[in-house]
Chains A and B, each alone.
Chain A
């Protein structure tokens, strides 16, 4: 049973506030992914959790024990680093069991532990090699083994896959997922790759400039992004954005796209959003929700678009559309037959629209 709770956590380096009030809760056996752009403070947060950096304010608790001021080595937390951080002068076996060596565990016992862990990572045959004689994927397995051998309460991962090529990344990602299912230890995983986040996480904390922009399950974050930032960051290709204005009142309330006066506005009453007339909004729609063609008799914004570019990705087709002065990306099934240069009608279904306040960039509604 390990629950990690972080509340009101702040971290400053001198005058620079790198983390500004972070609140996060990871349930037992949970897999939290910290997702965010470079420099938003993900590694700093991980280091503070590990005890490698001291928190400026706030508290970190494991179950009911406050560990904010506990030494790194006494927190029972293991970490896997982006650069693998293996000890170059030691064999793989010694790398894995260095923590036991420090604690004075006898050699035979260490060897046995190294063999057990190596077997679970399929690196038994590498135990007597040096890190320099390993490939990147093998090194990352050793680094994971070094964390596993300690059976810690919490695993931390700092972008462990970012130095691997695509194939290895997928393999190692699956390995980490399997390990987590088997070992079940509470984990915190840093990445700026949203597909990694989506596949591994039970919870995602999207971070922006030292704050948690949204904290929720992967499905929640994808379906109801809390802000324009989150909506843009999660999902590939990213969500399309258009400017709009709320017109009318009560039941007759409609959404009008700015710059498209000739397009019929769409009635909003069905969605019951708390918006007032004249409210400036940002309208978002995911690429896979744009309907190309006449569509059925669904409610939504109907526009006329020009096909600018068609990109086959193999599994589906990305269509770059020009609408007025705007560019939209639509994802279509691979059988779609679309010719660049032609005009097509498109539909933005009302139930797939995301509305954000243009001023605060926060989501409007639930």
Chain B
């Protein structure tokens, strides 16, 4: 099993030296064909990802409003942004949403995968059913869940009409709980996808290892907890990194489901940036928001990168 399936840097060439086309020449020349082959995508990434990220950073320090204005104003955009309740709510929501969404999706995905792994009949159709939500547009998911969670039309209305008068499930209309309603929809969307990742990993687990655990006296729960789940750790890391990326990009779900409401109680930094850039003519502040998301992503990913580098040093 690949321990480093998510390592960004390319694996070192087995012989450590001359590349595929190498003839023992040294320096850049030796790798020229390889460089030539990757240069278009490298160039595109340099310009469109890192170039524009730098440009955004610059804009965030400028006086830009409706159109770019290159006069630098220092950290004023950041100060103004962090002074706004709307941004504070959005940033807080992002932390809550990312944490809950990643943890709950991993847990639910793992549970589905473990259940599917019990050699159930009709596993293939079940797998398709669980995977299906991931193929649905987030806009569709958002609208469907909007109706499902709406007290007047959805689950609450259904339960009450079925005779349970006191039933309440009104997360989506209360500003303290609306973010949890969004977590529910987002988990529904991705749990099946994650379960397929986990199921593949579970299928790769050595059957003899599971037998060994049984002979060592471990019951099914102990075997999953101490032996199987640690053995599929690489799948956890892959799924976790993907989910963090999804979480940070979440935008359409909120737009379709709550339109950031009630009020701006379910705003996220991404919707905040959109508002500032396209509705309120605050390009500088939008850029500051975007850079903040980048920093947030770095804060989450950094421990992982450091840990990976430590591990490769230790080898």
The reply to whether B214 and A102 contact each other, CB–CB distance below 8 Å, is no
CB < 8 Å A-B pair total:
64
A contact residues, total (Cβ < 8 Å): 24
Is the C-beta of A35 less than 8 angstroms from some C-beta in chain B? no
Type the 1/0 row for A80-91, where 1 means its CB is closer than 8 Å to any CB of B: 011101111110
Q: How far is the CA of A85 from the CA of B214 in the complex (A)?
A: 12
7 A-B interface contacts by CB (under 8 A): A81-B211, A85-B206, A87-B213, A88-B231, A99-B215, A102-B222, A132-B3
The reply to whether A89 and B206 contact each other, CB–CB distance below 8 Å, is no
B contact residues, total (Cβ < 8 Å): 19
Is the C-beta of B300 less than 8 angstroms from some C-beta in chain A? no
The reply to whether B212 and A85 contact each other, CB–CB distance below 8 Å, is yes
The reply to whether A99 and B231 contact each other, CB–CB distance below 8 Å, is no
The 7 closest A-B pairs by CB, nearest first: A89-B230, A85-B208, A99-B216, A81-B208, A73-B217, A85-B212, A85-B209
Q: How far is the CA of A86 from the CA of B211 in the complex (A)?
A: 11
The reply to whether B208 and A82 contact each other, CB–CB distance below 8 Å, is yes
Within 8 Å CB of A98, what residues of B? 213, 216, 218, 226
Within 8 A of B (CB), among A19-78: 47, 50, 52, 72-73, 77-78
Is the C-beta of A79 less than 8 angstroms from some C-beta in chain B? yes
The reply to whether B218 and A79 contact each other, CB–CB distance below 8 Å, is no
Within 8 Å CB of A132, what residues of B? 3
Q: How far is the CA of A52 from the CA of B212 in the complex (A)?
A: 10
Within 8 A of B (CB), among A74-121: 77-79, 81-83, 85-90, 98-99, 102-103
Within 8 Å CB of A73, what residues of B? 214-218
Smallest Cβ-Cβ distance to B315: which chain A residue: A133
Given A73-B217, A88-B230, A89-B230, does the pair A81, B212 have CB atoms closer than 8 Å? yes
The reply to whether B217 and A83 contact each other, CB–CB distance below 8 Å, is no
Type the 1/0 row for B195-232, where 1 means its CB is closer than 8 Å to any CB of A: 00000000000101101111111100010001100110
Of B206, B211, B216, B233, which one neighbours A102 at CB under 8 angstroms? B216
Smallest Cβ-Cβ distance to A133: which chain B residue: B315
Within 8 A of B (CB), among A187-214: none
Given A87-B231, A98-B226, does the pair A79, B213 have CB atoms closer than 8 Å? no
Within 8 Å CB of A146, what residues of B? 212, 216
Type the 1/0 row for B172-215, where 1 means its CB is closer than 8 Å to any CB of A: 00000000000000000000000000000000001011011111
Smallest Cβ-Cβ distance to B218: which chain A residue: A102
Of A47, A52, A83, A89, which one neighbours B233 at CB under 8 angstroms? A89
Q: How far apart are A156's CB and chain B's nearest CB, in angstroms? A: 9
Q: How far apart are B270's CB and chain A's nearest CB, in angstroms? A: 36
Q: How far is the CA of A150 from the CA of B215 in the complex (A)?
A: 10
Q: How far apart are B292's CB and chain A's nearest CB, in angstroms? A: 36
The reply to whether A79 and B212 contact each other, CB–CB distance below 8 Å, is yes
Within 8 Å CB of B230, what residues of A? 87-90
The reply to whether A87 and B227 contact each other, CB–CB distance below 8 Å, is yes
The reply to whether B213 and A72 contact each other, CB–CB distance below 8 Å, is no
The reply to whether A72 and B222 contact each other, CB–CB distance below 8 Å, is no
Within 8 Å CB of A78, what residues of B? 215
Within 8 Å CB of A72, what residues of B? 214-215
Q: How far apart are A257's CB and chain B's nearest CB, in angstroms? A: 49
Q: How far apart are B227's CB and chain A's nearest CB, in angstroms? A: 5
Within 8 Å CB of A89, what residues of B? 227, 230-231, 233
Q: How far is the CA of A83 from the CA of B231 in the complex (A)?
A: 15
Within 8 Å CB of A86, what residues of B? 209, 212
